[in-house]
Amino acid sequence: MPKAGIIYNDVKPVSCRIAEELKQQLTAIGWDVCAVSGSGGILGYSSPDRPMCHTPIDQLVPPGFDSDMEFAVVLGGDGTVLSAFRQVAPIGVPLLTVNTGHMGFLTETYLNLLPQALEKVLAGEYEIEERSMLAVRLFRDNDCLWEALCLNEMVLHREPLTCMCHFEIAIGQHASVDIAADGIIISTPTGSTAYALSAGGPVIIPGVPVLQLVPLCPHSMASRALVFSNTEPVKILPASPNRLVMVVDGNGGCYVRPEDWVQVEKAPYRARFVRVQPPEFFHVLREKLGWGLPHIAKPSSVELP
């Protein structure tokens, strides 16, 4: 019996309803279906009285999900997609992402087009697009205190009402550098259109084997975004006396004390997207962000007297 999964946003009634209808539909044609909430991939935030609150990367796989699954359908917005990949990337399940949210930058199709998309998937008429992910770990001495898997970015920044921070950053075997800023972002190509874009970083086409470092409000004209090979791990030491905050995929995080250090590297797992149409990144940029749209009004060619 073939096996499929459903991951849905359980705070949205439409996602819950479609998840139940979809489960019944697939079960009726002989599929073994496991449906779970995307909340299982939400990391949660630490608090001052509980600074370390997390689940190890490989323990977020939902009950009933395994590598025998042919695919899973995600019903939600970008946040649900990010959460779902934290849940299934360790077992390699490809996801058909369906937008029931707002922007839906990471989603493959819309709810009204789900029947056609599902028909193609069941007929095997689809491609798998793989994207790199990050493994983020917090260390104190040599003990790993916190870890998370992310598809977009890791952000390390100052707490409110504290001063600007210094970060000592070593990329691979290169000499470490000092960056004075409110914070830093390490992002994947997928995350280059998220927080990193808002912070002035470049757009990077998915599939390019790189990561990028983007300082947040740097205190130097020379501290700009840096793109580097994703084969090189990044070690970050907060060279400031104040406690910092680390956030992963805008979803959850932990406190970072002055004696701690953070390691960011390409994860051994990849996000596997089900594509019912050939991937066309520039089309998504135009549709979602308005990039490269033709000018409506162009300069007049009338000669001046």
Residue 46, classed as helix, strand or coil, is coil
Residue 162 annotated in ligand binding: no
Residue 215, classed as helix, strand or coil, is strand
Residue 10 annotated in ligand binding: no
Residue 182 annotated in ligand binding: yes
- Tell me if residue 78 is catalytic: yes
Residue 178 annotated in ligand binding: no
Residue 152 annotated in ligand binding: yes
- The C-alpha angle 225, 256, 226, rounded to 5 degrees, equals 10
DSSP 285: I
Find where tokens 């029931």 sit. Answer: 100
Comparing CA positions, the residue from 134, 138, 130 lying closest to residue 151 is 134
AA letter at 24:
Q
Active-site residue among 78, 141, 143, 249? 78
Residue 197 annotated in ligand binding: yes
Q: What would the two tokens of residue 229 be?
A: 């090979």
Residue 130 annotated in ligand binding: no
Residue 89 annotated in ligand binding: no
The DSSP bridge partners found for residue 185 are 155, 214
Distances 164 to 117, 161, 176, 194 between C-alpha atoms, Å: 48, 10, 19, 23
Burial environment of residue 59 by CB neighbours within 10 A (0 to 12, 13 to 18, 19 or more) = exposed
Residue 222 annotated in ligand binding: no
Residue 193 annotated in ligand binding: yes
Catalytic residue ranges? 78
Binding site, annotated residues for NAD(+): 78-79, 152-153, 182, 193-198, 251
Going by the annotation, the residues of the binding site are 78-79, 152-153, 182, 193-198, 251
